[in-house]
Amino acid sequence: MTEQEIYSGLRGKFGEKVLEFMEEGTLNPTAVIKADSVAEICLFLKNNESLQFDSLMNLAAHDPDGESELSVIYHLYSTNLNHYFTLKTHVSRENGVVESVANIYRTADWHEREAYDLFGIKFNDHPDLKRILLEEDWEGHPLKKDYVTAEFYRGMRIEKVK
């Protein structure tokens, strides 16, 4: 199925929860969906007979400019039917919450922890949402573009004095 067809199907089934379809200017045609309906849409995409998106290739978070909303991007692939689809959702910069898909795609477990660790995005219903790369007592989420590097971490200087 083409991405356009998949989008139309989603739009027909989920209506307002599917916001728009982006084809121009993106590498992969992308459906933008609401953050609180990610899980049900993914479940549908996975279980529907004619879609069978059984693999989440990647889950990424993105901060475009340090001011506007953060986004979470899902790259889906169907190993049976050999087609791709991309979902995207926007969350607010502070305390953004997205539905977790870790119970649908096991891949998402660590990827969501990474997005939480580096961007501070919370994932509802995640089995074990804690930092994955940085130390538990780290302050802030460094891949956000407005992140300010602290001077010290546990007594170790982070920025070298110039």
Angle at CA of residue 120, ends 115 and 121, nearest 5°: 65
Q: CB of 132: closest distance to another protein in angstroms?
A: 11
Scanning 24-32, 74-82, 97-105, 150-158 for contacts with another protein by CB under 8 A, the matching segment is 150-158
Q: Which residues pair with 89 in a beta bridge?
A: 33, 72
Structure tokens at 59: 């889950």
156 makes contact with another protein (CB under 8 A)? yes
Interacting residues with another protein between 76 and 135 (CB under 8 A): 133-135
Residues sharing a CB contact under 8 Å with residue 162, sequence separation 6 or more, in sequence order: none
- When computed from its CA atoms, the radius of gyration of the chain, rounded to whole angstroms, is 17
Using CB under 8 A, list all residues that contact another protein.
Answer: 133-135, 142, 147, 149, 153-154, 156-160
